Structure 1
């Protein structure tokens, strides 16, 4: 039964992503908003819903160590595997503003998380903890990011003189398409995660290994499916914006809320993964600066590096 439900979950993910990308890109056209902004906001926040559900739910239950591992693992997965696969399918065009502002902001968010987590190294404390005060700092940076996006959206609409020619449907219809697609993505992701864990347990995988692989990967399935569909539809701005926006949302909003609910203990071994997340963000910035495009060769490098990372964490655990 678990295998049948797994297939159903993947079908919901794929069809949901199809409707979601179509609706979101049409909303951008009707509102005269650049697709990259839709990717950074509606698509990014929507596809990060599973991470939010898992991390915030874990914090409420007092298992908030899962929250940090889930976010860091998902962000590594987003840049390495998702960008890698989508670039292999279709070279990803990266907007100039994304290279100059959004990706550097994602890098700043990653470095901020490392600084807030490194209490022993930087402040000489006995333990590393992301405290409630740290959570407020993360949410403050998230507010700055939202303010920036609103400013860009308003400026884009003021500058736009393009006439909208025969929209494919009304705004209400496109919102229903995008909303219905997002609902299918979230439901499909939940079904896939639950049944993947059941199957993994049948094969004797430990809970730690399941958390590092299936949970982190499973909660990133909406980003994967959405970015792949966007790339196939040649909506590369949505594909890139989805990843960059999701990573910022995961760090600043999800960990911000989770740590305010209850402080998050930070294990020493996760600092390797935190530094790797920063390294991947730097690599994404470097790749994006070369002709404002992520090529198939660069996508292959990212994909192969994730395979090596997966082998490493399996061996480490």
Structure 2
């Protein structure tokens, strides 16, 4: 009976995710066009933060309940999944032209965030003070992103739908994404425990993938609608939000102590972030590159299961 309930949760969760993401991308894009703000800033902020709500809920709850491996594993695992699978699969559907701002500012910043986290994990602990540093970095990042975004007449599009209706459907989309993500996580976690997986492995795989499903579905939908800036902005924005904001809040609420493997996983995040940043500087993020990214994630998953 528990197995059946878990499977039902996963199926219903996917339905919420798909419809919520579709509604979310459509209305976020419309709001961006209506007010003349680029799709990039919408992707890096509203879309990225909205789809990261499941990670925030899971990691903060895990930190408060002293399930530290799930708190950190969720963020590191989600970031690796976002970069390799979300961006990779999106590129397989539609070649992604990565915005120059993302290549020069936001993607390198996500590398810096991963390096900072790796240094913090050397002593297997993220203290309250280190959590405050992460939150300060988040505040500075948000300020710079918004300040450097300018309205342009070229960005403005004629959209007759009133703001109130767009915002209501945007919120409905976020609600669908968050509810769907939580249902999938709950169902997948129950399945994992029935099978008998460890907490560390649950955090890095089942929970990380589950909480990243909103990013996956949202970016896939954005790629299909040819909203490249939302698709890639969502990935990089979510990764920055996960490290700076989610781990910042989690460690301020309750200092986080982890196993030595957390440092290794964070180091892997740094490596894949740098490698694919360099690759995307010299070639488009197309189907071939996307397939390499997805295959890299499969190899990483096999590694963490076998270790």
Interval containing the TM-score (normalised by the shorter chain): over 0.9
State the TM-score, normalized to the length of structure 1: 0.91
3-state SS of the aligned residue for 2:107? helix
Q: Could you report, residue by residue, the CA deviation over 1:19-47 in whole angstroms, capped at 9, with x for unpaired residues?
A: 00001111111111111110100000010
Which structure 1 residue ranges, 5 or more long, are not aligned? 120-127
d(CA) in 2 for partners of 1:61, 1:48: 20
2:148 is equivalent to residue 152 of structure 1: yes
d(CA) in 2 for partners of 1:133, 1:283: 31
Residues 227 and 261 of structure 1, relative CA distance in 2, 3 Å threshold:
same
Query: Which of 54, 67, 74 lines up with 1:50 in the alignment?
Result: 54
Residues 11 and 114 of structure 1, relative CA distance in 2, 3 Å threshold:
same
Tell me the residue number matched to 1:14: 18
Residues 189 and 140 of structure 1, relative CA distance in 2, 3 Å threshold:
same
Q: Could you report, residue by residue, the CA deviation over 1:153-195 in whole angstroms, capped at 9, with x for unpaired residues?
A: 2xx11xx123845304111111111110110011011111111
d(CA) in 1 for partners of 2:160, 2:282: 35
Tell me the residue number matched to 2:80: 76
Query: Which of 109, 134, 140 lines up with 1:138 in the alignment?
Result: 134
d(CA) in 1 for partners of 2:66, 2:200: 17
d(CA) in 2 for partners of 1:207, 1:190: 17
Q: Which piece of structure 1 moves more, 234-243 or 264-273?
A: 264-273
- The 8 Å contact of residues 60 and 249 in structure 2, kept in 1 or not, is answered as yes
Query: Which of 224, 234, 254 lines up with 2:226 in the alignment?
Result: 234
3-state SS of the aligned residue for 1:92? coil
- The 8 Å contact of residues 34 and 157 in structure 2, kept in 1 or not, is answered as no
Post-superposition shift, 1:254? 0.6
Tell me the residue number matched to 1:123: none
Residues 208 and 63 of structure 1, relative CA distance in 2, 3 Å threshold:
closer
Which structure 2 residue ranges, 5 or more long, are not aligned? none
Query: Which of 178, 181, 186 lines up with 1:186 in the alignment?
Result: 178
- The 8 Å contact of residues 30 and 167 in structure 1, kept in 2 or not, is answered as yes
2:109 is equivalent to residue 105 of structure 1: yes
Tell me the residue number matched to 1:32: 36
Q: Could you report, residue by residue, the CA deviation over 1:106-155 in whole angstroms, capped at 9, with x for unpaired residues?
A: 11111111122223xxxxxxxx31111111111111111011112122xx
Q: Could you report, residue by residue, the CA deviation over 1:205-230 in whole angstroms, capped at 9, with x for unpaired residues?
A: 34443332111110111001001100
Tell me the residue number matched to 2:299: 308
Tell me the residue number matched to 1:296: 287
The root-mean-square deviation of aligned C-alpha atoms, in Å, is 1.5
- The 8 Å contact of residues 26 and 168 in structure 1, kept in 2 or not, is answered as no
3-state SS of the aligned residue for 2:148? helix
State the TM-score, normalized to the length of structure 2: 0.94
2:206 is equivalent to residue 202 of structure 1: no
Post-superposition shift, 1:267? 1.8
d(CA) in 2 for partners of 1:205, 1:24: 38
- The 8 Å contact of residues 142 and 249 in structure 1, kept in 2 or not, is answered as yes
d(CA) in 1 for partners of 2:63, 2:155: 47
